Amino acid sequence: MSKRIVVLSEEIANKIAAGEVVERPASIVKELLENSIDAGATDIRVELEKGGTHSIKVTDNGSGIEHEDVPLVFERHATSKIHKYEDIFNVVSFGFRGEAMPSIASIAKVELLTRCRNDLSGTKATLEAGVIKEVLPAGSPEGTQTSVTKIFANVPARRKFLKTEATEQSACLDVITRIALAHPEVRFKVSANGKEMFVAPEVGDISKRISMVMGDDFSAHCIAINEQKENMSLTGFISRPEYTKSNSKSTYLFVNKRFIRDNSVTHAVLSAYRQIIEPRRYPAAVLFLDMPPEDVDVNVHPAKLEVRFKNAHGVYELVSRTIAHNLAEAETSKGNFIYRLQPKEKKNYSYSSPTIREKSPPIPFGMFSRQNIQKAINEDLLKRPFTEKTATVVESANIPAKETISFAGMKYVGQFANTYLIFEGDENLVLLDQHAAHERIILEKLKKTSGEKVVSQSLLMPEIINLTPGQITLFLECIELLQEIGLEIEIFGRDAIAVKAVPVTLSLVKISEIISDIADQLCDQNQTPYLQEKKEKILASLACRAAIKANKVLSYEDVAALCRELETTPFNLTCPHGRPITINFSLNEIERMFKRK
Ligand code: ADP
Ligand code: MG
């Protein structure tokens, strides 16, 4: 290869720039919609074919483009939105870099049809692989229609990175619904493969669009927030603590109506919930942060997905305090919950007196069989107060990986921190994580269900669950996979599914929660196209949802049943996330800790 320096042609430069701006069809949809909104459109129609991988058409009733300006649209750094550098610190439009249209045109075929409000005739332009083929006067409705086809046709390497049509379509719909959320004054109509996916009529206020994007369940479990601080304002909706998600992606942040991602703001949201929702569950929130344009630099990311705040600390404080305050108010007024602004107090664990326990000899191992357990409980153990109860259970954790938990003659001592079960053997002490143990039990049951014949429970009346258009697309793709795990669903109209049967193992979990967790898993952007992996992730999240929670008081029967089931469960040394289920302390180790040895 020659080492001489050459200036890249405009065509190659555009293709390279396109790599940053146009990652997938959803990025094209985003740029086109932002241009329509910048042009003052109040009515926008989006038509997708094959998930946007075949064609994307956006039609708006905005200002249109003057005939002489049309070729400029496709020139790099050609924009009508800023004229001098300082303007970017005051930019109120979505675009300003003048990069999107040339980038899109460099990797696809673009047809533009446009007419300005007071012009008699419009303009039609066609470009292919970045080259203008024609610009002609043409009849056109008022506004602009942009059709993009042959996406990545001239960059086959990029085309290979596209996921399934359903995943790409879902990503496009997510972009559209997010933009629709911040623009209630604009009417949106979206179709995919000729089928209408959703219609969002123009509404006066954002709350009417919330359920469209976040789902009905969120709307039913959210708190409206509204706070001003100096020249910033924070409005929006946050989830109540009982509504949780299995990933952290459900916090949507809009800064001056621009959808962005910001780790620091996400952290502020999570910190407000940290003390009140379980570990590994996440809140959902739609936050609108508004501030003067000069306080936020929008020119730090090619796809304008990140911004830099002048007063990042102030933003963090505003978000975390407002949410913490609103949660505290909403929950204390409900009466059954006290929000802890301070870290949880450390509780002293009171160990049950050994003298009392000595009175109750351990039940011999043989008694702890399926037949005998209930009898033993009824006849003997339940007659005594809880601290005196002795059971037989559990294992030793320092066992070679292939072994599984076996019930040796151990005594159940009690529960620590309402989360860990303590067992005592002759020469060891074992702590068992109740949530981790139950998670593994449920996961293995669900897996069995899916591998062999489906053990599902049909519902007398199908339950209708509302979903967003993006979610529906993903469910549609996975109907068979869900059936394998015992979940029978049917698409029900444009924005709902009907659940007809659920796996028996999950019969105690709310159906809306099962569906919401599956939706979270399916929406996961980094998700693999491999069905088996998809299935495993879904099963693990369902197991987590159905398992006994940490911080729950367990009765003696609960503990006995848990141990009995764990004994016959494969892979019972670790939970589905790979964490240990039990930790073993040998007498030797304990004595060494006390410097007795
Ligand atoms: P930017 O939005 O950053 O200015 P783009 O490449 O996205 O750059 O668009 C270039 C220019 O084309 C815009 O500044 C705008 O003047 C014009 N334009 C693009 N799409 C539309 C549209 N739908 N309606 C009116 N003007 C448009
Ligand atoms: Mg633009």
Protein residue closest via CA to atom 2 of ligand 1: 95
Under the banding of pLDDT at 50, 70 and 90, the label for residue 375 is: very low
Residues 176, 309 within the same domain: no
Cα 87 to middle of ligand 1, angstroms: 16
Domain count within the chain: 3
pLDDT (average), residues 15-43: 91
Residue 352 pLDDT: 31
189 domain residue, yes or no: yes
Is the model's pLDDT at 386 over the cut of 60?
Answer: no
Residue 408 pLDDT: 58
Q: What is the pLDDT of residues 431-451, one digit of tens each?
A: 999 999 999 999 888 887 655
Answer whether 101 contacts ligand 1 (Cβ < 6 A).
yes
- Rounded CA-CA distance 304/260 in Å is 8
Residue 108 pLDDT: 95
Residues 158, 26 within the same domain: yes
372 domain residue, yes or no: no
Q: How many CA atoms lie within 13 A of 530 on its CB side?
A: 5
Answer whether 105 contacts ligand 1 (Cβ < 6 A).
no
358 domain residue, yes or no: no
CA dist 247 to 74, 110, 195, 211, Å? Answer: 39, 37, 30, 19
What stretch of H or E contains 20? helix 10-21
529 domain residue, yes or no: yes
Protein residue closest via CA to atom 12 of ligand 1: 73
Answer whether 391 contacts ligand 1 (Cβ < 6 A).
no
In this structure, of 168-172, 221-225, 397-401, 551-555, the range with the lowest mean pLDDT score is 397-401
Atom of ligand 1 nearest to the CA of 62: 24
Residue 90 pLDDT: 82
375 domain residue, yes or no: no
Protein residue closest via CA to atom 17 of ligand 1: 73
Residue 345 pLDDT: 36
Boundary residue ending a domain (282, 314, 333)? 333
Residues 519, 465 within the same domain: yes
Residues 420, 278 within the same domain: no
In this structure, of 220-224, 283-287, 523-527, 565-569, the range with the lowest mean pLDDT score is 523-527
Residues 299, 422 within the same domain: no
340 domain residue, yes or no: no
Answer whether 177 contacts ligand 1 (Cβ < 6 A).
no
CATH number of the domain at 321, please.
3.30.230.10
Nearest of 531, 444, 533, 446 to residue 481 by alpha carbon: 531
Backbone angles phi and psi of 577, in degrees to 5: -95, 5
Residues 171, 194 within the same domain: yes
Residues 81, 18 within the same domain: yes
Boundary residue ending a domain (135, 168, 203)? 203
CATH number of the domain at 513, please.
3.30.1540.20
Answer whether 65 contacts ligand 1 (Cβ < 6 A).
yes
Atom of ligand 1 nearest to the CA of 58: 23
Residues 198, 220 within the same domain: no
CATH number of the domain at 184, please.
3.30.565.10
Answer whether 125 contacts ligand 1 (Cβ < 6 A).
no
- CB within 8 Å of 482: residues ≥ 6 apart: 475, 488, 489, 518, 538
What tokens appear for 70 in the block? 């049309």
Is the model's pLDDT at 393 over the cut of 50?
Answer: no
Residue 271 pLDDT: 86
Boundary residue ending a domain (333, 364, 381)? 333
- Rounded CA-CA distance 155/107 in Å is 7
Under the banding of pLDDT at 50, 70 and 90, the label for residue 420 is: very high
Atom of ligand 1 nearest to the CA of 98: 8
pLDDT (average), residues 358-383: 34
Is the model's pLDDT at 482 over the cut of 80?
Answer: yes
More confident residue, 489 or 302: 489
Give the range of the structural domain holding residue 189, as residue numbers without chain letter.
10-203
Q: What is the DSSP letter of 75?
A: S
More confident residue, 216 or 151: 151
Q: What is the DSSP letter of 150?
A: S
Protein residue closest via CA to atom 19 of ligand 1: 35
Greatest mean pLDDT among 18-32, 179-193, 400-414 lies in: 179-193
Residues 250, 115 within the same domain: no
What stretch of H or E contains 222? strand 222-229
Under the banding of pLDDT at 50, 70 and 90, the label for residue 367 is: very low
260 domain residue, yes or no: yes
66 domain residue, yes or no: yes
Cα 204 to middle of ligand 2, angstroms: 26
Is the model's pLDDT at 377 over the cut of 50?
Answer: no
Q: What is the pLDDT of residues 483-493, one digit of tens each?
A: 888 899 998 88
Q: What is the pLDDT of residues 109-133, one digit of tens each?
A: 999 999 999 999 999 999 998 899 9
Return the best residue to mutate from 22, 58, 101 for the ligand 1 pocket (most ligand atoms within 8 A of CB).
101
Is the model's pLDDT at 155 over the cut of 80?
Answer: yes
Residues 60, 199 within the same domain: yes
More confident residue, 136 or 530: 136
Residues 404, 530 within the same domain: yes
Residue 285 pLDDT: 95
86, with CB counted inside 10 A (0-12, 13-18, 19+), is exposed
Under the banding of pLDDT at 50, 70 and 90, the label for residue 149 is: very high
Q: What is the pLDDT of residues 55-110, one digit of tens each?
A: 999 999 999 999 999 999 998 888 888 888 888 788 888 888 888 999 999 999 99
Residues 457, 594 within the same domain: yes
